[in-house]
């Protein structure tokens, strides 16, 4: 069954797979998680702000993003980002946008919808007495959010946020549809060049599996530690 397989192709392509592919994947994951968290928190604050219109807009955005498949959203932004860039910079024609920027914008906007739901749950889990005490101490709304509510919400939701980041790490593989060499894209390029689909895809699957397993084990341990403190 494994007779005519050549696993040496993996060893030969290791530098390309990890230095180019995996570093792209990890960079995209990290920056998207950060950007998604920031935008997601802002959306959550909009939804909980008490201003009807603001809350409605944020709610629509979240529902809209969450009912679309990521692949479609990737295509949308791939074509839309050059026009957004043109509009932002006032250029006379759609600007050229690199693969990384385009996918980064996509994942930030997409993940913001998911992170915002997590942050909303986190903010709602803080007891009413906390913001009340903050305003009794004379803190303004933004101060109370910044120093009292958000740090606790973030801490309580850390395991969920990290789990979502693991999902994001797996989802970044979908940039494959734009032929971008992330980790899977790099593996697939080597696979097609050398005609070694079986070896490369098995290896890619194993790498994703090990990283996700280790990461979710870490999250479970973190969760156990946080649970004791609370």
Partner 1 sequence: MNYNWNWHIFFEPNPTGSGTYLDMLVSGLWLTIKTALLAWIIALIFGTVIGILRSLPSKTASWIGFAYVEFFRNMPLLVQLFLWFFVLPELLPRAAGLWLKQLPNAPFWTAAIGVGLFMSARVAVQLAAGIASLPRGQKQAATALGLTLTQGYRYVLLPMAFRIIMPPLTSEFLNTVKNTSVAITIGLIELTGQARAMQEFSFQVFEAFTAATVMYLAINIIVVTGMRFLERSLAIPGYITGK
**35 and 109 Cβ atoms separated by less than 8 Å:** no
In the block, which residue shows the tokens 């870490």? 218
Task: Find the binding residues for partner 1 in span 51-70 (CB under 8 A).
Answer: 64, 67-70
- For the chain, how big is the Rg over CA atoms in Å? 21
Interface with partner 1, residue 99, by CB under 8 A? no
CA-nearest of 83, 105, 100 to 92 is 83
Q: Which CB, 22 or 204, lies closer to partner 1?
A: 204
Cα→Cα distances 95→27, 70, 82, 91, Å: 23, 24, 5, 7
- Selected binder of partner 1 within 99, 100, 202, 223 (CB under 8 A): 202
Interface with partner 1, residue 197, by CB under 8 A? yes
Q: Distance between CA atoms of 14 and 34, rounded to whole angstroms?
A: 28
**29 and 172 Cβ atoms separated by less than 8 Å:** yes
Q: Which region among 52-60, 76-84, 102-110, 143-151 touches partner 1 (by CB under 8 A)?
A: 76-84
Q: Which CB, 141 or 209, lies closer to partner 1?
A: 209
Q: Which region among 42-50, 111-119, 123-131, 167-175 touches partner 1 (by CB under 8 A)?
A: 167-175
Residue 2 beta carbon to partner 1: minimum distance, rounded to whole angstroms: 8
Q: Distance between CA atoms of 185 and 103, rounded to whole angstroms?
A: 14
Interface with partner 1, residue 170, by CB under 8 A? yes
Six-digit token string for 39: 């935008």
Judged by the rule CB under 8 A, the positions of this chain that interact with partner 1 are 1, 64, 67-72, 75-76, 79-80, 83, 86-87, 93-94, 170-171, 173-174, 176-177, 184, 188, 197-198, 201-202, 204-205, 208-209, 212-213, 216
């Amino acid at each position: 069954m494994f007779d005519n397989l050549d696993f040496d192709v993996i060893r030969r392509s290791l530098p390309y797979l990890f230095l180019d592919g995996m570093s792209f994947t990890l960079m995209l994951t990290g920056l998207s998680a950060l950007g998604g968290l920031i935008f997601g928190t802002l959306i959550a604050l909009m939804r909980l702000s008490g201003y009807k219109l603001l809350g409605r807009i944020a709610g629509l955005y979240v529902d809209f993003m969450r009912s679309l498949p990521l692949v479609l959203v990737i295509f949308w932004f791939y074509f839309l980002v050059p026009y957004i860039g043109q509009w932002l910079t006032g250029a006379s024609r759609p600007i050229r946008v690199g693969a990384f920027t385009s996918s980064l914008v996509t994942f930030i906007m997409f993940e913001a919808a998911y992170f915002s739901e997590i942050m909303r749950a986190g903010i709602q889990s803080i007891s009413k007495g906390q913001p009340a005490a903050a305003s009794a101490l004379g803190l303004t709304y933004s101060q109370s959010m910044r120093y009292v509510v958000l740090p606790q919400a973030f801490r309580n939701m850390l395991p969920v946020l990290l789990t979502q980041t693991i999902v994001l790490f797996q989802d970044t593989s979908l940039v494959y549809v734009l032929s971008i060499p992330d980790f899977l894209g790099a593996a697939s390029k080597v696979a097609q060049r050398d005609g070694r689909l079986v070896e490369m895809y098995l290896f890619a699957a194993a790498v994703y599996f090990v990283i996700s397993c280790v990461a979710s084990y870490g999250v479970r341990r973190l969760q156990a530690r946080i649970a004791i403190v609370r």
